[in-house]
Structure 1
Amino acid sequence: MLLQSILLAITATFAAAQTITPAQNQLGRTCGFKIAPCPLDMKCVPDNPYCPELNKCAGHCQFKNKYDSCGGFTPRPHNCDKNHECQDDPRLPPNCGLACDVPGICVPKEVHYCGGFVGLRCPDGLFCYDQLDGCDPLHGGADCSGICL
């Protein structure tokens, strides 16, 4: 019984550790010049198209996976196709999102779930993000699941 409890605690710790939280968001942060690399879910994009060598030139961090923008208070708000739904972007820092007319992203309706007690992992190329549902794995929510984007 004690061994099961220990294994369960370790599994929950690893599940929470693999979820990328908005606090880790560093969108637009400077990279290149052999300085600190971008987080795992981002890539360093050169600032100057004539200098693509990031060891010699500056760049900025961008998300690896792109999703269409939707909703928000824009002159021509975009709608998602039938296989996607418009949601707040869980990759961005906490804000009031669509409720305050901030554009969201088109998230697939059949999304993969990750984290939780089971420690589900995302398919290759996708990253685990908190669902912005009030459950925070870093503040007492041991069984928080996320979505793979």
Structure 2
Amino acid sequence: MKGAFITVSFAALAAALPQDGYITRVTTRVTPTPRTTTTCDLTICADYINSCGMGYGGCYPACPGLPTPTFTPPPCPTATQKPTKTTTKKPCQTICVDAVNECGIKYGGCYCSEEPFPYTKPPCPTTTKTKTTATPSPTPAGPRKCGGLQGLRCNKGEICIDDPKSPCGIAVDCLGICIVEQFCGGFAGFPCKTKGDVCIDDPRDNCDPKNGGADCGGLCVPEAWVY
């Protein structure tokens, strides 16, 4: 006699199936064998799919009293990190540029010759009108002294610079003079706005007009304080 398929209750089969995973196919098959006390003629084949889409399962005898096997879902494959590519930059020639804008302000630096110039030209300082009451006027006796060992201070709105008539500067504890800061000279040759003022080299920077610094910025001071 050839093998035949029979219809069974799905609820009864579900009770004999594992409760994990997803069932994709349940097949019952009767195998015509001589009935004995040790032979089971009911077979269940179960196909499952785990959460990663991988199939698993198998067939087993499903007669009453026989144990139901447990099918363990296979583990999902772990994602492996792709090796990162290491790129090495080609050596490039370094260019150092010391630029000066039209107001005599220095800017620039060093950069790779294969890259665009990365430094931005700084803007020129804007001239602002100062109130007459806020601008201290020099006395006939000369400028106000500052610095020195006494640490003399200037009034608000003034700065302390080296005295043009002194052989030493405020950096070595010599007395300086107080002035109202007003930019002059530079690349554009800005003149002093106050009559009787002259433009002297700004002692606070490293630009020396007597040593190749033709575009050095300066400060305006009364002519009598210089000569």
Tell me the TM-score normalised to structure 2 length.
Answer: 0.32
Structure with the larger helix share:
1
Tell me the TM-score normalised to structure 1 length.
Answer: 0.46
Structure with the larger strand share:
2
**Using CA pairs below 8 Å that are at least 6 residues apart, which structure has the higher relative contact order?**
1
